Structure 1
Amino acid sequence: MHDVVVIGAGLAGLRCAGLLATHGLDVAVIEAADAVGGRQRTDIVDGFRLDRGFQVLNPAYPALRRSVDLDSLALGSFPVGVQVRTADGMAELRHPVRHPLSILASVRSGLVTPQDAVALARWAAPALVLPLSRLAQYDLPLRDGWDAAGLRGPLRTAVLEPFLAGVLAEGRGETSNAFARLLVRYFALGRPGLPAQGIAAVPEQLAAHARADGAVMHLGRGVERISAAGSDIEVGVIDGDPLRAARVVVAVGPDAVADLTGLPAPETNGLQTWWFATAEPPIGSALLAVDGRGRGRGPVVNTVVMTHTVPSYAPAGRHLIAATCLLPHGAAAADETDVRRHLGEIWGTDVSTWELIRRDDIVDALPAQPAPLDPARSPRHAERVYVAGDHRDTASIQGALASGERAARTLLLDAGIRGTRG
């Protein structure tokens, strides 16, 4: 008999479990996969570190700074900017405040007109001073938000649209304008990067903290149901004995939450990531690259030489290139021929000799965030049953961690537990 069973060892579940264990509760975490992390997993394949899809970690996320020792992750940081394939070659746009000497080059690229620069500032500035709740008061789709700000030129069509398509996992501009502004704020304040040991280092650290405070992890054990058992909750374990607890937190991904709770399945957006290896990188820059020549050119929404930022992602003498495509529900996935053709156009080089290491199709990569943006949902689901996950907050690492914190606070309040321990 446990005080709490947390179902799911993703970021939300691990953060929740760690906080509950810190307060002296008997906590068991049960996870169907063979390791913690949920969608934040890293595999070693032929000496390469492959995250489950292209990931970035933004140290500007407040919940991340509260949860994780960032220094111990040995983060490699991507440059704050983007390189854009145009009809005339490759142009670079960098953060104008951090790289003021790049402003002239940005203007000469033809991608930043004075009108666009003013419109972008008009669109983004409120996010630097207003909380998300204020930004979402009069929310609308991102495309309409850009229209209202007067952002219609090449900075939008050649840079922001392809860049944010990979971030939001959709390219139609249907995502909440408030949420997109929030993400741009985090990009402006932080330097996204990756841990030297891969994105899995984040959940592994959360799990280590939770274990140190007494939480027990049960991996490789799926859950088929939760049900009331007198004054307790019974968690039915597939091919195993059930667990009993006074309270249960359901912290599974958007693909599984409906089966355990009866809640409507959250809408999701999908992403596909291709991992290629080569001895010679196509370029010396670590900037993320997008195709700014207009829609319909090819399936790749962004590509980057990972090893220019995190050399530990490849064996010595080798480089790792990631290429990300959208993976719409009900639509055909991109094939290797089209991906290679498009990569060759973006990088301006022959990619036929690149070795394909793996392709990741993440159907439920991110919860959809259409306008108007829903406020963070209460974790209370039923008596003594709570729900956590980025689908209950914002579609990000920040949202997952914040949702786990909210579930823990609510459970402790309901249990009448105050203070730092017990």
Structure 2
Amino acid sequence: MVVVGAGLAGLAAAHRLISAGLRVVVLEAAPDVGGRLRTDEVDGYRLDRAPGVLTLDHDGTAFARLPALERLTLRPFAPGALLHCAGRTHRVAPRTAARGVAAGGPEAQAAGRGERRGRPERTAAEGPAGTDRRTRGARSARGALETARALAPAGALSTARALRGARTRADMSDVVGLARLRVALGRFASVPAQGLLSRPELPADQALSARGLPARPAQTLVRPLLTALLSDPALTTSSRVADWTLRGFARGGLGVPAGGQATVPELLAAALPAGTVRTGVRVTSVSTHAVETERHGTFGCEAVLVATGARSAAALLPGLRVPQFHPVTVLHHAVDEPLPPGAAGPSFTVCAERGAGRGGAEPDPVSHTWVASAVDPSRAEPGRTLVTSVVLGERSAEPPAALDKAARGQLAGVYGTSTDRWVLLAAYHDAEAVPAMPAPHDPRRPVRVLSGLYVCGEHRDTSSPRGALSSAERATEQILRDFGLPTVPRQLAEEVAA
């Protein structure tokens, strides 16, 4: 049995096939395993080439079910996410998440509260704060407070404080909207997996108003959050995929692999029998009984599983559809000076309002950012700080120098400090970073081309690590069935991405 591609899907499939008693060879064109899950070491920093942020209830659970990844550690972000908008930062998290953090130590408690970079902190339910405590429209304020108390009893006190500081009715609306959003996310986390599948499928952008989320926060807060998690600025992604992603965020939060993305495929490859994985071998053609390579001859086999990216798979298997892609650029900055206390934590920060750029320039480029060394200290040497930022859409294709210049002004506002002395360590652009999943989207695309020839990868499922693993499970199950062998029980069957 030959597996073409030593990315996440190919390595996971090799484990399952070997556990079923088959002899497997994995051929990889690159000099290292991992596919897009790569981490570079630059001047003492560990830099991921792709965003690499996981929804822990979704991707993280899938990793946990692979015995070869028992030694993998996932570093969580602070619960929820920070939404930076109009100079203010709000923490958006389900009520259940906020309560869970409050039970921890001082650091965990601080992570669960709303923050304002370099300014006094506010709770997750609070909206824009103001020093002028004279509110307009006392009747509106009383009604808003009653609504907030009914929706979020645990946050009523903080909501009341925010309402007393609100200057306008719009501010009051934001306060109540955030309280409602917090409760709505908590309810969303409890929706059964099958409940998501029963909802009408729409483009995610159109579905925002039909998911029981408050209208204003849905557009100003949830939309940019989903944009960041899906790498899709236009939100053309299927609403079922978006729902699944939002549910994973609400249930488990976000995190990254300790040591960088490359740790995942490295652990998988190390757990395979010696000689199973052969790197630097470029495959030029495949058939049911042979694999031709560029410089390493022909590998005879009884079946072939193509586990490469979508475009490479289509080159080896003519007729396979190549999807559209979402481009991404990842910027890594070294920061020598300490960040302000309110900006140095392990939070996932979404730039909720990028608007027009400074001086009439283009809109600000960064979609989301985080202090990578705070989330995972192994990303930088002690005493050093690594900030990772992501640019999506057309702007991601700009030259690194221009993108870096545009990002610095934006990041200065987000982190509340000068970025003039930040050092750009790397700018990784990938025009085909994330396969698009527009509605209607089939998360169970066929993995059997014909008997003896199979395909798997995130492009056959959903554009996520869990999608890659799910497609690998379906492909190996089909291979074993065709070989007349007992199938290995599928571990992800109950929650294949919607």
Q: Which runs of 5+ in 2 are unaligned?
A: 103-112, 115-121, 129-170, 357-362, 490-498
How far 1:281 sits from its partner (Å)?
A: 4.2
Change beyond 3 A, Cα 1:172–1:123 = farther
2:383 to 310, 317, 321: 317
Aligned residue in 2 for 1:250:
306
How far 1:136 sits from its partner (Å)?
A: 6.0
Q: Are 1:16 and 2:13 matched, yes or no?
A: yes
Q: Are 1:357 and 2:357 matched, yes or no?
A: no
Stretch moving more, 33-42 or 95-104: 95-104
Q: Which runs of 5+ in 1 are unaligned?
A: none
Aligned residue in 1 for 2:482:
414
1:56 to 45, 53, 57: 53
CA RMSD of aligned residues (A): 2.7
**Native 8 Å contact 2:397 2:431 kept in 1:** no
Aligned residue in 2 for 1:393:
461
Aligned residue in 1 for 2:139:
none
Q: Are 1:107 and 2:125 matched, yes or no?
A: yes
TM-score if structure 1 supplies the norm length? 0.89
| 2:54 counterpart SS class | coil
How far 1:130 sits from its partner (Å)?
A: 3.5
2:291 to 235, 239, 253: 235
1:271 to 320, 328, 340: 328
**Native 8 Å contact 1:55 1:199 kept in 2:** yes
How far 1:201 sits from its partner (Å)?
A: 1.3
2:271 to 209, 216, 221: 209
Aligned residue in 1 for 2:242:
180
Aligned residue in 2 for 1:298:
364
Instruction: Report the Cα distance in structure 2 between the residues aligned to 1:161 and 1:384, rounded to whole angstroms.
Output: 43
Aligned residue in 1 for 2:206:
144
1:327-367 Cα distance to aligned partner (Å, 9 max, x none): 44996466221111221222222101101100010211111
Greater strand fraction, Structure 1 or Structure 2: 1
Q: Are 1:287 and 2:347 matched, yes or no?
A: yes
| 2:209 counterpart SS class | helix
Change beyond 3 A, Cα 1:5–1:41 = same
**Native 8 Å contact 1:113 1:155 kept in 2:** no
**Native 8 Å contact 1:268 1:364 kept in 2:** yes
Structure 1 letter corresponding to 2:209: D
**Native 8 Å contact 1:288 1:303 kept in 2:** yes
Change beyond 3 A, Cα 1:418–1:86 = closer
Q: Are 1:74 and 2:73 matched, yes or no?
A: yes
| 1:349 counterpart SS class | coil
Paired residues for 1:128-143 under 5 Å: 128-131=190-193, 135=197, 138-143=200-205
Aligned residue in 2 for 1:156:
218
| 1:129 counterpart SS class | coil
% identity of equivalent residues: 33
Paired residues for 1:89-104 under 5 Å: 89-100=88-99, 102=113
Aligned residue in 2 for 1:342:
410
Aligned residue in 1 for 2:30:
33
TM-score if structure 2 supplies the norm length? 0.76
**Native 8 Å contact 1:124 1:181 kept in 2:** no
Greater helix fraction, Structure 1 or Structure 2: 2
Q: Are 1:377 and 2:445 matched, yes or no?
A: yes
1:186-218 Cα distance to aligned partner (Å, 9 max, x none): 22222432233211111112222332xx66111
Stretch moving more, 8-17 or 322-331: 322-331
2:278 to 218, 226, 233: 218
The structure with the larger Rg is 2
Instruction: Report the Cα distance in structure 2 between the residues aligned to 1:11 and 1:186, rounded to whole angstroms.
Output: 20
1:156-211 Cα distance to aligned partner (Å, 9 max, x none): 23322222212211111211111111112222222432233211111112222332
Change beyond 3 A, Cα 1:55–1:265 = same
**Native 8 Å contact 2:203 2:235 kept in 1:** yes
For this pair of structures, how many residues does the alignment match?
412
**Native 8 Å contact 2:127 2:175 kept in 1:** no
| 1:324 counterpart SS class | strand
